[in-house]
């Protein structure tokens, strides 16, 4: 296959993604439009400059500002719909687990945001056939008490869409062990658990997230490569790593050959590819697969197998996971690669 045909294949392949932030999915033009309408000033009101930053701290400052520009349920519905539509258009997205940070939006109640996001999810499913679930994400830069309160609020307002808890933002600020209570509350309510850990070299927080918070999935987790015992333990216990090609590159100087993701796959870890904060990092889910596939030399069947193995790491219950698996098998077959879905990923 030519490089062009491979790129087209990887872009059009039906996909799921497990690691995508709602507030990191707002195109610059939409963010500026929301900010103008809601009387909020962003670090730049120029769409070509809003997402200029040099490090994760700079990115998180913009992320917080954009979060403040979302002030009504309708804003949440718009952002959710647009983000899902972009996933469908750019990469034939079929299912996404969307993380959102309720405590970054102090002007709105949790039920108000949930109602808006739900409207966006249902409209996207109706119009585009893409389905979604939600991960309520704790802001680790805020206090453990804020996190525990958030989880009590979440359990007081059950929703079939909310399937998990996550731990986001600057890993230099909030160690996972501080959020044990929030994770215990989440577990008591049947929520599945993931956390950002080991994104920028801190391997201990991967182990703590697994051992103390009970996560079965790690967001990023690149630092696991530096710790042979933890790596083996992660393989043995089936810990899933929801990695992101673009943001991993951001952390390793932009050199695709230096990306940790190929090594994680080669060592036998269970790995999926997601887009994290797509417009903020100039990417989309189609582009993430195209770049990963080109660098890692994926065959068609390897790319398909990566999608199908990601299904097993979703936070869906067994019935819904089986339905998604069946649906994707049909869609992958219809996509017409001529290979049998279900082979083991490389
Ligand atoms: N919040 C949104 N994106 C994030 C990332 N890549 N790392 C930590 N926190 C985030
Ligand atoms: Zn993330």
The pLDDT assigned to 120 comes to: 98
The pLDDT assigned to 172 comes to: 86
Q: For residue range 146-199, what is the model confidence (pLDDT) as tens digits? A: 999 999 999 999 999 999 999 999 988 899 999 999 999 999 999 999 999 999
Average pLDDT, the chain: 95
Distance 170 CA to ligand 1 centre (A): 7
Ligand 1 site-directed mutation target among 22, 196, 200, 275, most atoms within 8 Å of CB: 196
User: Does ligand 1 lie within 6 Å of residue 196's CB atom?
Assistant: yes
Phi and psi angles of residue 139, each rounded to the nearest 5 degrees, phi first: -90, 110
Nearest CA to ligand 1 atom 4: 169
Q: For residue range 16-54, what is the model confidence (pLDDT) as tens digits? A: 999 999 999 999 999 999 999 999 999 999 999 999 999
User: Does ligand 1 lie within 6 Å of residue 168's CB atom?
Assistant: yes
- In the chain, DSSP finds a helix count (H) and a strand count (E) of 14, 8
Ligand 1 site-directed mutation target among 18, 58, 60, most atoms within 8 Å of CB: 60
**Nearest CA to 165 among 143, 146, 144, 185?**
185
Nearest CA to ligand 1 atom 1: 169
Q: For residue range 307-316, what is the model confidence (pLDDT) as tens digits? A: 999 999 999 9
Q: How many CB atoms lie within 10 A of CB 308?
A: 20
Nearest CA to ligand 1 atom 8: 169
Mean pLDDT score, 103-129? 97
Estimate to the nearest angstrom the gap between the alpha carbon of 253 and the chain centroid.
Answer: 21
Residue 51's contacts (CB-CB under 8 Å, 6 or more residues apart) are 28, 62, 279, 280, 281, 282
* In the chain, % of residues over pLDDT 90: 93
pLDDT category at 337 given cuts 50, 70, 90 is: low
- pTM higher than 0.85, yes or no? yes
Phi and psi angles of residue 218, each rounded to the nearest 5 degrees, phi first: -120, 130
The pLDDT assigned to 47 comes to: 97
- Rounded to whole angstroms, the Cα distance separating 298 from 305 reads 10
For the chain, which domains are there? 7-28+78-335 (3.20.20.140)
Distance 311 CA to ligand 1 centre (A): 22
User: Does ligand 1 lie within 6 Å of residue 193's CB atom?
Assistant: no
Ligand closest in space to the Cα of 60: 1
**Nearest CA to 306 among 13, 52, 24, 12?**
13
Nearest CA to ligand 1 atom 9: 169
Q: Is the pLDDT of residue 339 over 50?
A: no
**Nearest CA to 278 among 22, 32, 69?**
22
Q: For residue range 218-276, what is the model confidence (pLDDT) as tens digits? A: 999 999 999 999 999 999 999 999 999 999 999 888 899 999 999 999 999 999 999 99
Distance 169 CA to ligand 1 centre (A): 5
């Amino acid at each position: 296959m030519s490089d062009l045909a491979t790129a087209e294949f990887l872009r059009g392949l039906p996909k799921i993604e497990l690691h995508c932030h709602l507030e990191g999915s707002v195109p610059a033009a939409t963010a500026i439009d929301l900010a103008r309408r809601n009387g909020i000033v962003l670090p730049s009101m120029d769409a070509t400059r809003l997402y200029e930053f040099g490090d994760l701290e700079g990115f998180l400052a913009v992320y917080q500002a954009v979060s403040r520009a979302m002030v009504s349920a309708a804003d949440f519905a718009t952002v959710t719909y647009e983000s899902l539509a972009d996933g469908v258009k750019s990469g034939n997205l079929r299912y996404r687990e969307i993380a959102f940070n309720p405590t970054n939006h102090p002007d709105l109640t949790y039920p108000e945001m949930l109602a808006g996001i739900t409207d966006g999810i249902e409209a996207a499913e109706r119009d585009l056939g893409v389905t979604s679930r939600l991960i309520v994400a704790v802001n680790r830069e805020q206090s453990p008490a804020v996190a525990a309160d958030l989880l009590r609020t979440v359990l007081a307002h059950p929703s079939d869409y909310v399937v998990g808890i996550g731990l986001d933002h600057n890993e230099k600020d909030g160690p996972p062990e501080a959020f044990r209570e929030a994770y215990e509350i989440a577990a008591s309510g049947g929520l599945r658990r993931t956390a950002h850990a080991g994104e920028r070299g801190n391997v201990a927080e991967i182990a703590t997230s697994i051992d103390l918070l009970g996560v079965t999935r790690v967001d990023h987790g690149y630092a696991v490569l530096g710790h042979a015992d933890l790596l083996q333990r992660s393989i043995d216990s089936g810990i899933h790593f929801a990695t992101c090609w673009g943001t991993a590159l951001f952390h390793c100087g932009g050199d695709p050959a230096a990306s940790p993701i190929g090594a994680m796959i080669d060592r036998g870890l269970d790995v999926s590819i997601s887009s994290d904060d797509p417009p903020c990092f100039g990417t989309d889910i189609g582009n993430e697969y195209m770049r990963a596939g080109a660098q890692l030399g994926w065959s068609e069947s390897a790319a398909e197998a990566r999608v199908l193995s990601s299904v097993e790491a979703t936070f869906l219950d067994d019935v819904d996971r089986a339905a998604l698996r069946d649906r994707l098998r049909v869609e992958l077959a219809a996509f017409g690669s001529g290979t049998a879905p279900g082979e083991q990923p490389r």
